[in-house]
Amino acid sequence: MESPFKADILKGKVALITGGGSGIGFEISTQFGKHGASIAIMGRRKQVLDSAVSTLQSLGIKAAGFEGDVRKPDDARRVVESTFKHFGQVDILVNAAAGNFLVSAEDLSPNGFKTVMDIDSVGTFTMCHEALKYLKKGAPGRGSTNGGLILNISATLHYTASWYQIHVSAAKAAVDATTRNLALEWGTDYDIRVNGIAPGPIGDTPGMSKLAPDEIESKARDYMPLYKLGERWDIAMAALYLASDAGKYVNGTTLIVDGGLWLSRPRHLPKEVVKQLSRAVEKRSREKPVGVPTSKL
Ligand code: COA
């Protein structure tokens, strides 16, 4: 699908995207690149990185891949440094690396819980912390007028509660808190905007095939009326809005991009029944108003 944004809205920017070699991360890499940014991708798998970088380059995008695991502070530091050395500046950090699997709370080991916290929550903070010195207003390679931008990929799981996702719910709640707190502290001190995106179910992603195999997906519409698969493109467009000047007054928010899904409730009564019932109840209360003693009627 064509982007509705001008092709130069990220011209001259350098974006470092963790988990940028596959899924939503790769779509953000591609769209940021198509809109003028140079792209550094961080990921654990060399093969995935190499293939992502060559695809980006074939689209005329300046791109480099750096192997690393966001759980390892040394990797985080090295990749941020390499991005700066390679491109001469770092303007945007997108934390898209994530870990997930379905498991009941009682079957999840504390180490399984910790693994996802380490990737999603601690990894996000570690990357932000390492990138800070390049994102600050007046940092090497950037002017003294504006600070950079951080974008954290979150979820909606923790707004209520989600079956078999206690680890990710806890991890994304921490990510959202990190987004708001950094927006406050670094927005004030360094003019850095920190925002998030909470995607709904996005087709054709590793997350989707792990968390909603076909057996589950076909049942989802029964209890979630607004259930509709999104596309990676939808998330990338939201990211472009937040990263471009169009989002210059947006700080500390996590934009939900899920078609309203998280608000879904099963419909407990058909519309026609509600209409009849509602009128009948009203008629009854007119004939016998609630709270008025029968003796006064
Ligand atoms: N069910 C229950 N527990 C699981 C599990 C599952 N499906 N998969 C992993 N775990 C547990 C392991 O048993 C282990 O705990 P233990 O030591 O108490 O047994 C812990 O999680 C770590 O697992 P391990 O396989 O050693 O971790 P890893 O670092 O190799 O992999 C994962 C990390 C598990 C998050 C892996 O799925 C991953 O790399 N994911 C990245 C990609 C991804 O998930 N994308 C989707 C994004 S939405």
Structural domains in the chain, CATH included, are 14-267 (3.40.50.720)
Say how far apart CA 165 and CA 45 lie, in whole Å: 25
Compute and round to an integer the Cα radius of gyration of the chain: 23
> Ligand 1 mean position to 216 CA, how many Å?
21
Ligand 1: centre distance to CA 34 (Å): 33
pLDDT score of 290 more than 70: no
pLDDT value for 273: 94
14-18 vs 38-43, strand pairing mode? parallel
Residue 144 reports pLDDT greater than 90: no
Of 45, 100, 101, 164, best ligand 1 pocket probe by most atoms within 8 Å of the beta carbon: 101
Q: Which residues line ligand 1 (CB under 6 A)?
A: 98-101, 103, 108-109, 111-112, 115-116, 206-207, 210
Q: Mean pLDDT of all residues in the chain?
A: 94
Q: Using 50, 70 and 90 to split pLDDT, how confident is the model at 224? A: confident
Interval 60-98: pLDDT, tens: 999 999 999 999 999 999 999 999 999 999 999 999 999
| pLDDT at site 143 | 77
In this prediction, residue 234 has a pLDDT band, given cuts at 50, 70 and 90, of very high
Q: Is the pLDDT of residue 49 over 70?
A: yes
207's tokens: 């997350």
Spell out the residues 6+ positions from residue 23 whose beta carbon is closer than 8 angstroms to its own.
Answer: 96, 202, 205, 206, 207, 232
Looking at the predicted structure, is the pLDDT value of residue 207 above 60? yes
Exposed/middle/buried for residue 281 (C-beta within 10 Å: 0-12, 13-18, 19+): exposed
Which pLDDT band, with edges at 50, 70 and 90, does 205 fall under? confident
Task: Count other Cβ atoms within 10 Å, centred on residue 145.
Answer: 8
Give residue 55 CA to ligand 1 midpoint distance, Å: 28
**Please, which pLDDT band fits residue 295 given cuts at 50, 70 and 90?**
low
Report the atom number in ligand 1 closest to the C-alpha of 116. Answer: 35
Which residue, by CA, sits nearest to atom 7 of ligand 1?
101
